[in-house]
Amino acid sequence: MLPEIGAAELIVIAAVALIVVGPKDLPLLMRKVGRFMAKMRGMAAEFRNSFDEMARQSELDELRREVEALRSGSFAQPVTNDLQASFQAIDGDLRRTDADLRSPSGPVPEPAPGEAITPYGHFEEPSIEPVTREPEVAGAGGDRR
Residue 57, pLDDT above cutoff 60: yes
Would residue 43 count as lying in a domain?
Answer: yes
**pLDDT for the residue numbered 39:** 96
Question: Is the distance from CB of 69 to CB of 75 less than 8 angstroms?
Answer: yes
What CA–CA distance (Å, rounded) separates 70 from 68? 5
Q: CA-CA-CA-CA torsion for 138, 141, 142, 145, nearest 10 degrees? A: 20
Would residue 56 count as lying in a domain?
Answer: yes
Residue 42, pLDDT above cutoff 90: yes
Would residue 64 count as lying in a domain?
Answer: yes
Domain extent for 55: 8-74
Number of domains in the chain: 1
**pLDDT for the residue numbered 35:** 96
| pLDDT per residue as tens digits for the range 87-119 | 888 888 877 765 566 555 555 556 666 665 555
Question: pLDDT band for position 54 (50/70/90)?
Answer: very high
**pLDDT for the residue numbered 49:** 94
What CA–CA distance (Å, rounded) separates 125 from 118? 11
Would residue 24 count as lying in a domain?
Answer: yes
Would residue 26 count as lying in a domain?
Answer: yes
